[in-house]
Structure 1
Amino acid sequence: MIRYIILFVFMSLGVLLSAQQMKWTELAQDTVYYANEYLPDGLMVTPPGPGQVWDFRSLKAPYALSRRVVVTGERDKVIYASLVNGKQTDAILQLSGNSVQIVQLIEDNPICPGNKLLYSLTPAFKPFFEGGLGETYEYHGKMQSVFAWPHDLNCTWVPAQLPDSCRVTYSLSYDIDVDGDGTLYLPTEVNDVFRQHILEKRTLKVETKRGYSWKDVTAQIPTLKTITYKEILRFVSSDTGLEWADIEIKDNYQPVRIEFKTFPLVTRIFSEKPSRPDIFAYPNPTFDVVRFQMSDLLYGRYKLKIFNILGVPVKETDVVVDDPKKTIAVDLGDLQRGTYLYRLQDGFGRTIKTKRIVLIQP
């Protein structure tokens, strides 16, 4: 969870820097779109070093997820905000001009799966690090939540005598080493980046209390993972600090999951209603397979038509919309390189949207 939050705040930082130091409070309601792909095929992650090229243009996941900062109020001259993932709050932030700190996280209860806890971070976590090649950063702290024992919930472990309270504590170790620089290619754009090699370690302790004293019961819970590790490669713009990609890796730099920035990056949205039917193409520009994602359409049958720049039809596909974010893949690799138009029509032949797509050489 904490790395998802870092992904958003790094993206937002890049927006602030490119917008002449826009304040965090002015960023409220901006929406960042991102995508996830698991076990990505053909994604080569190289060892450390300068002057590298990372080609991630094969990524195909759509941008169907969003995050935004929502200012919630002020207390003792400190502005607080919620980090909203879709419709759910994931974290509480402290905003101060161009700086931000994560003070609380909402994460799973390790004893009672399916339930969430509000954890406080001590000290507050500063998610920004924009060091150059060879620089390092460390964070060591605790993430803790205290709650009344849930008598009405199913938990993986129940003590012989039900306690009054339970305390869950994670000791956090977060080490960053900027181990590479070079050029990063994503499906929609290219940038010069620094690569951050991140090692995250969590050590879990569970305590219960009856009366006035706390008792460590971690060893009594057989299914509990007391120590967890994560290894992440983060690609950050060398110009703005904007994060472009976050890759979770295993042994020998094998990627198991990638979260990456998609287009549009940030759209200032103050009200998402009324919504209108729309269609997006990604990657754009492209050289072969294109994902077309439709939104806010009535369920039913539609046609997707591709025209050359002169308006001559070159391809047509029938689409059955049965999902709010219906996505289809169309191979345009057999068409000549150049600019084309794509048009979505309903069952009566009425045009929903017409947009442009560009085919380039691979």
Structure 2
Amino acid sequence: MKRKLPFLFILFLTSSWLSAQIVVTSATFPEPGDTLRTVLDALPGDIDLLEPGVDKNWDFSNLSGINQETVIKAAVEGDYFDQFPSAEVMVSTAGGNIGELYYNVTNNLYELLGYIGPDPANFGINLLARMVPPSAERRAPMEFFDVHTSESNIQVAFSTELIPSTILDSLPVSPDSMRFRIAINRLDVVDAWGDLAIPGGTYEVLREERFEERETRMDVLVGIGPFSEWMDITDLVGFDFLGKDTILTYNFFSDDAKEIIASVRVNPVTETPVSVTYKYNMADPSISATHYLDQGISDIFAYPNPAINEVRFDFINLPTDTYDLKIFNILGLEVFHKRYKINDRLTVKMDLSDMRKGTYLYSLINSEGKTISTKRLVVLKP
């Protein structure tokens, strides 16, 4: 993997600066009984990640979004523990109806063994995937200047009876089985430390830059019986999810919380923030006017509400489909209509400057005409 380490100039810092940094220990590793509460902001705006270095001050205090809860359980409580018998921890996602992730935990590593969850092609099926070797999500002790490289692979085969016939018709052959192969190469660099402000609190943190290169390929099983073999058809089909991808994330860790204080996904080319997941600090994690609890069901939320000049719509947990967002005034007349292609989540902003003061209803409707949700939106004018 080719990746420059932009923080190497910091090696010449004084010993007093180095001694001021924190150390993140294994006490922050999630364990059975924990519930990690975070907020996802899918439109983080212009937050400044700053350059690598020491004694930094990051201000993410203007973030907002949808609440999420991650429940940590003993691995033996999972439905697929028999597939991961060496796991100590199981994580259920979004109310437990999306998937389960299994982790091995030691004094030094919190590593993903595998998971049961949605397929990478969004064919609408759940697959069991193993990480070979396991993929380290956290390490301890974590210190400034830590550098780690790692590789992991996923191979998962499945019957073509599970996928839509429209997909099969697009293939150059008619196989009985298909297989995804995913190769992951990662470079993790702890390149900065300082204070990070998020809504509700400020934390001493270490920042880890996580640079991941991922290649996804697809095989089909051709032949009969002992003469069958896997054939790579990646270059013969035009699926967008295949090929190489780069994922760049900045994770901010504190020794005072089990949640990652902030995890910033950025565009790997421009390095502008795409989304931020951050620790939820409110005393009451229930639904409020500015935070909504993701319970794993398909839904839509408007924020702020009431709104004045602009409103943000968050679409969550939606099966891949085409959806219509419609807004109606108090007389039932349609005043807004736009169509979106959504896979799981989408966040959009809407300008309200042309809408009058008043109460409106907004509805989300799928391609079959089924209404997913209808809610009230209040528009105020100064």
**Normalising to structure 1: TM-score of the pair?**
0.63
Choose the corresponding residue for 1:36, options 35, 40, 44.
Answer: 40
RMSD over equivalenced CA pairs, Å: 3.6
Tell me by how many angstroms 1:173 deviates. Answer: 0.8
User: What residue is the counterpart of 1:341 in the other structure?
Assistant: none
What runs of 5+ residues in structure 2 fail to find an aligned partner? 1-23, 308-382
| Aligned counterparts of 1:294 and 1:104: Cα–Cα separation in 2 | 26
Q: Which of 114, 128, 132 is matched with 1:118 structurally?
A: 128
Q: 1:295 to 1:218 in 2, by over 3 A?
A: closer
Alpha-carbon shift at residue 53 of structure 1 (Å): 0.3
List per-residue Cα deviations over 1:228-278 (Å, max 9, x = no partner): 11111111115667520011112343111111110259x9xxxxxxxxxx9
Matched, 1:173 2:209: no
Aligned match of 2:99: 90
> Hey, what's the Cα distance between the residues in 2 that align with 1:208 and 1:293?
42
User: Measured at CA, do residues 291 and 111 of structure 1 come closer, stay the same or move farther in structure 2, by a change above 3 Å?
Assistant: closer
For 2:294 and 2:207, the matched residues in 1 are separated by 34
CA offsets per residue over residues 185-234 of structure 1, 9 Å max, x none?
01111111111111111111211112321111111112343001111111
Within a 5 Å distance, the mapping from 1:1-362 to structure 2 comes to: 17=27, 27-63=31-67, 65-73=68-76, 78-79=86-87, 81-87=89-95, 88-96=97-105, 100-111=110-121, 113-130=123-140, 131-150=142-161, 153-156=164-167, 158-210=170-222, 211=224, 212-224=228-240, 225-237=242-254, 242-250=259-267, 251-263=269-281, 291=290
One-letter amino acid of the structure 1 residue matched with residue 138 of structure 2: F
Contact 2:75 2:102 in 1 (8 A): no
Distance 1:147 1:32, change over 3 A: same
In 1: Cα distance, 2:36 partner to 2:279 partner: 8
The one-letter code matched in structure 2 to 1:216 is: D
Provide the rounded CA distance (Å) in 2 between the counterparts of 1:143 and 1:295: 28
Distance of aligned partners of 1:221 and 1:294 in 2 relative to their CA distance in 1, 3 Å threshold: closer
> What is the deviation of 1:41?
2.5
2:281 alignment partner, SS class: strand
**Residues 40-92 of structure 1, C-alpha deviations (whole Å, 9 max, x = no match):** 224122111111100111112242x2111233527697355432112225343
Q: Which letter does structure 1 place at the counterpart of 2:217?
A: K
Asked whether the equivalents of residues 252 and 261 of structure 2 are also in contact (C-alpha less than 8 Å), the reply is: yes
Answer whether contact 1:197 1:234 (CA < 8 A) is retained: yes
Distance 1:96 1:253, change over 3 A: closer
Partner letter of residue 69 of structure 2? Answer: S
1:312-348 CA distance string (max 9 Å, x none): xxxxxxxxxxx999976589xxxxxxxxxxxxxxxxx
Give the aligned partner of residue 319 of structure 2. none
Change (3 A) 1:279 1:147: closer
Q: CA deviation at 1:112?
A: 5.6
The amino acid of 1:85's aligned partner reads T
Tell me if structure 2 keeps the 8 A contact 1:244–1:261. yes
SS of the aligned residue for 1:219 comes to: helix
Structure 2 CA distance, aligned partners of 1:82 and 1:295?
19
Amino acid at match of 2:274: V
Paired residues, number: 266
Q: How far is 1:161 from its partner?
A: 3.5
Q: Which stretch of the first structure deviates more once superposed, 77-86 or 251-260?
A: 77-86
Residue identity matched to 1:134: F
* Counterpart-to-counterpart distance in 2, 1:30 and 1:206: 37
Amino acid paired to 1:221: V
Counterpart Cα distance in 2 of 1:159 and 1:28:
44
Deviation digits for residues 135-161 of structure 1 (CA, Å, limit 9, x no counterpart):
111220101111111266145454344
Structure 1 gaps of 5+ residues are 1-13, 268-277, 282-289, 297-322, 332-362
Alpha carbons 2:151, 2:186 under 8 Å: kept: yes
